[in-house]
Copies of this chain bind each other. A is one copy, B any other.
Amino acid sequence: MTTNMTIYDISEKAGVSIATVSRVLNGSSNVSEKTKKKVMDIINRYEYTPNAFARGLGLNTMKTIGIMCADSSDLYLAKAVYYIEQLLRSNGYDSLLCCTGYDLNTKEQSMELLISKKVDSIVLVGSNFIYEKEEDNRYICDAASVVPVMLLNAALEAPNVYSIVSDDYTSMYKATAQMIASGRKEILYFYNSFSYSGKRKLAGYRAAMEEAGIFQNGLRMQFYKGSHEDIHAMAKQLTEASQCGLSFDGVIAADDNLALGAVKYALQNGLKIPEDLSIIGYNNSLLATCCEPELTSIDNRLETLCQHLITTLMGILNGEEMPKKTVFSGEIIQRGTTLLQ
């Protein structure tokens, strides 16, 4: 029995999650004595050793990678999943995707599900999988004790976790600085997320504004809570803010959807783009070429990030030493919604 026993079998026989088994094996204190005993009884009865498990994993690879993304209807995430699946396939790997939503509980469940399907690694697409509180990221560390975990555009320092990141801070800093240099002073930041990436973007905007010394009246910021598809609701929020006395001659948006909301706002209020209102979006998505004038947008080189993630993953699965964190820089794609300098 020894050689065929895996962490999955122990989890099943003990009636506890894989994460719990892994916590017991790693001597974590976050497990009740009762559960610990249940797991150890199974381990002792079947003479399981972590070594046998590791060996089993290596030999019986299913050549399948688990992917998790919060929301497949988000253009950016869907595109990332598309690239990753294509690249995995060309490397001879199948993939299984779970769309988890934004709830931590469901993310944990999906992680369990993928690990129970014996994937060779798990790729987390997008920065909303990382939480501020360390304990909320435990599900990632638990998974990483079983298989390598790859983060796309998020970072977490933990064993067996690899981060591939776009430098959103610098990209947003540069975009804001460029708009300031073009003569704009009342630049509104329009955003809808407090994720890891969301916070980095906001920090880049703040830094550029502070550095230019146009911070004294407080920053102009609008947080949008509605559906990421409801362009009209975004435009409405800006119109209302403007009617309440908020003046702005530029909009830096945290994604292209929000930037389109600003374009719609300008058209509805008779503002000329870019003369009366400059707009910069983020992601350089399909949406950037849909409107008129077309959207200046930050390209964070998603395809490059995905390629690098897969190269790193293939290295890890081949037993090579790979970098734990890699950072790429983005690029501003100039189109009609900004003034030429």
A78 partner, pick from B73, B86, B264, beta carbons under 8 A:
B73
Q: Decide if B73 touches A79 in the complex (CB within 8 Å).
A: yes
When each residue 36-67 of chain A gets 1 if its CB lies under 8 Å from chain B and 0 otherwise, what string results? Answer: 00000000000000000000000000001000
With a cutoff of 8 Å between Cβ atoms, the chain B residues found around residue A260 in the complex are 290
A232 partner, pick from B75, B232, B289, beta carbons under 8 A:
B289
Q: Decide if B97 touches A96 in the complex (CB within 8 Å).
A: yes
A333 at the interface (CB under 8 A from B): no
With a cutoff of 8 Å between Cβ atoms, the chain B residues found around residue A82 in the complex are 71-73, 99
A292 partner, pick from B101, B257, B292, beta carbons under 8 A:
B292
When each residue 207-236 of chain A gets 1 if its CB lies under 8 Å from chain B and 0 otherwise, what string results? Answer: 000000000000000000000010110000
**Given the contacts A73-B82, A78-B73, A291-B292, A96 and B94 also touching, CB distance less than 8 Å:** no
With a cutoff of 8 Å between Cβ atoms, the chain B residues found around residue A75 in the complex are 75
Q: Decide if B99 touches A98 in the complex (CB within 8 Å).
A: no
Chain B min CB distance to A193 (Å): 18
When each residue 261-281 of chain A gets 1 if its CB lies under 8 Å from chain B and 0 otherwise, what string results? Answer: 000100100000000000000
With a cutoff of 8 Å between Cβ atoms, the chain B residues found around residue A287 in the complex are 286-287, 290
State the copy count for this chain: 2
With a cutoff of 8 Å between Cβ atoms, the chain B residues found around residue A71 in the complex are 82
Assign chain A's interface to a size class. 35 or more
A81 at the interface (CB under 8 A from B): yes
Q: Decide if A85 touches B113 in the complex (CB within 8 Å).
A: no
A237 at the interface (CB under 8 A from B): no
Chain B min CB distance to A58 (Å): 19
When each residue 71-110 of chain A gets 1 if its CB lies under 8 Å from chain B and 0 otherwise, what string results? Answer: 1110100110110011001000011111101000010011
A117 at the interface (CB under 8 A from B): yes
Assembly CA distance A264 to B110 (angstroms): 42
Chain B min CB distance to A229 (Å): 5
Q: Decide if A81 touches B89 in the complex (CB within 8 Å).
A: no
Determine the residue in chain B with the shortest Cβ distance to A114.
Answer: B96
Q: Decide if B101 touches A89 in the complex (CB within 8 Å).
A: yes
With a cutoff of 8 Å between Cβ atoms, the chain B residues found around residue A257 in the complex are 286
A 223-253 contacts with B by CB, 8 A: 229, 231-232
Assembly CA distance A257 to B286 (angstroms): 9
Assembly CA distance A264 to B64 (angstroms): 42
With a cutoff of 8 Å between Cβ atoms, the chain B residues found around residue A81 in the complex are 72-73, 99
A85 partner, pick from B72, B86, B289, beta carbons under 8 A:
B72
With a cutoff of 8 Å between Cβ atoms, the chain B residues found around residue A95 in the complex are 98-99
Q: Can you sample 18 A-B contacts with CB below 8 Å?
A: A64-B113, A72-B72, A73-B78, A75-B75, A86-B101, A94-B110, A94-B113, A96-B113, A97-B98, A97-B99, A117-B117, A229-B286, A231-B286, A231-B289, A257-B286, A264-B289, A267-B292, A292-B292
